Amino acid sequence: MARERSLRIGFIGPGTVGRALAQGFASNGYRVASLYGRDRNRLDAAVSHVPGATAADSAQAVVDASNLVFLTVPDDAIEPVADSLTWREGISAVHCSGVASTEFLAAAMRAGASSAAFHPLQTLASVEQALRNLSGSTFAIEATAPELEETLCELASAVGGHPVTIDGSKALYHASAVMASNYLVTLVDAAAGLWSHLGLSKEEGLRALLPLIRGTIENLEAVGLPNALTGPVSRGDLGTVQANLEALKNVSPEAASLYTDMALRTIPVARAKKSLDAEGKARLRDALDANP
């Protein structure tokens, strides 16, 4: 509690992430002292939802009024903004990039400040949606000081998150997130696009596929990996895989190639589930290798 009362949190960049975190921290008893952004209308809107916070006249004013400063600006702006500010010993600088390391905050560290990365592993399209989704989300934390790491873990927990500390490549961590989130959209785009060959629109295809996608996610949550895997590769159903591929080749060679690659990558998952025996694996791999 003493640490909570001593914190004076500031935000530079009141976009979706900054606003959501500021509101989340404030609603859980933490003092958000000030926010700053170049767009005055956006800044005023952000401050109006954070009790006790003031709209700072400059980014430097946020640093001067706070002892924990979040730079919730675009990734490319983190280092230039940090370099433009006058930091001091005893303060902490934190950014929320998923891929950048604490090296982007070198200017703060040279002045004796601690630094950290604090990344909510979630897709945040709007402030309202972000506030709903932060609870239950993982927060990846990389800090240069143990006390700062502890504080950020407490903040993540306060908004209902699950803090984890990253000890390794942030780019690798971020690549995992991109594959699971961004490229899922790409995969669904390809799947929904096939419905145009069935006399229906992509939008209708998406509407039809969404319950299936939700069911898959629920299975992942309920039984985990690899047990959530279902489908023809899991069963070793070579005839169905071949029929799928022939149909795809007739309408979209690109989709057929994607299907083949995904099927090949699914074989080890099916083997881990123990639903595909060695003979079935060999038959599938031979057939897929013959259909590049």
* Separation of alpha carbons 148 and 169, rounded Å: 20
> What is the share, in percent, of the chain residues with pLDDT greater than 70?
98
Show which of 118, 144, 168 is a domain's final residue. 168
Quote the CA–CA distance of 266 and 230 in Å, as a whole number: 10
Q: Is 284 exposed, middle or buried (0-12, 13-18, 19+ CB in 10 A)?
A: buried
Residue with tokens 């038959």: 283
Dmax of the chain from CA atoms? 69
- Which pLDDT tens digit goes with each residue over 166-194? 877 888 999 999 999 999 999 999 999 99
* Domains contained in the chain, number: 2
Final residue before a domain boundary, out of 123, 146, 168:
168
- Separation CA 51–CA 209 (nearest Å): 42
* Domain identity same for 164 and 31: yes
Residue 247, by phi and psi: left (phi above 0), alpha (psi -120 to 50) or beta? alpha
Helices of type H across 92-226: 106-110, 127-134, 146-158, 170-177, 183-193, 202-223
pLDDT for 56-98, tens place per residue? 999 999 999 999 999 999 999 999 999 999 999 999 999 999 8
Instruction: Provide the whole-model pTM.
Output: 0.83
Its domain, for residue 40, covers 2-168
Kindly state whether residues 94 and 16 are assigned to the same domain.
Answer: yes
Q: Please give the Cα distance from 47 to 19 (Å, whole number).
A: 8
CATH of the domain at 143: 3.40.50.720
142 lies in the same domain as 278: no
Query: For 124, which DSSP code?
Result: -
| One domain for residues 134 and 152 | yes
Same domain, 135 and 191: no
Which of these three, 133, 150, 168, is where a domain ends?
168
